[in-house]
C-alpha cells in the first residue's frame, strides 16, 4: 500500500464542528488512512493511498458537504 500526504486549503468553515464534519467525511472515504482538519489555519491534512483514491476525489468529498477547496 502506497501512502501520500497532502494539505488542502479549505474555505467556508465557520466553527470547529465544521472542521469535524470535513474530517469525518474524509475519514469515511475509501483509501484515506488519516485526516486532520485545522479550523484556525483552514487546512486539511490527509494521508491516503493514491492507488485507491485520487486527489480529485478528496476535493469532491470536501466540496460535496458544502466547503470550498482552493
Q: What is the pLDDT of residues 38-54, one digit of tens each?
A: 999 999 999 999 999 99
Burial class (CB in 10 A: 0-12, 13-18, 19+), 64: exposed
- Give yes or no for a contact between 26 and 46, defined as CB atoms under 8 angstroms apart: yes
- Mean pLDDT of all residues in the chain? 97
Band (pLDDT 50/70/90 cuts) for residue 1 is confident
Mean pLDDT in residue range 1-27: 96
pTM of the predicted structure, to 2 decimals: 0.94
Amino acid at each position: 500500500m502506497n501512502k501520500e500526504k497532502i494539505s488542502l486549503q479549505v474555505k467556508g468553515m465557520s466553527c470547529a464542528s465544521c472542521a469535524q464534519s470535513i474530517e469525518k467525511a474524509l475519514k469515511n472515504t475509501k483509501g484515506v488512512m488519516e485526516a486532520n482538519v485545522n479550523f484556525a489555519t483552514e487546512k486539511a491534512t490527509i494521508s491516503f493511498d493514491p492507488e485507491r483514491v485520487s486527489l480529485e476525489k478528496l476535493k469532491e468529498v470536501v466540496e460535496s458537504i458544502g466547503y470550498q477547496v482552493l
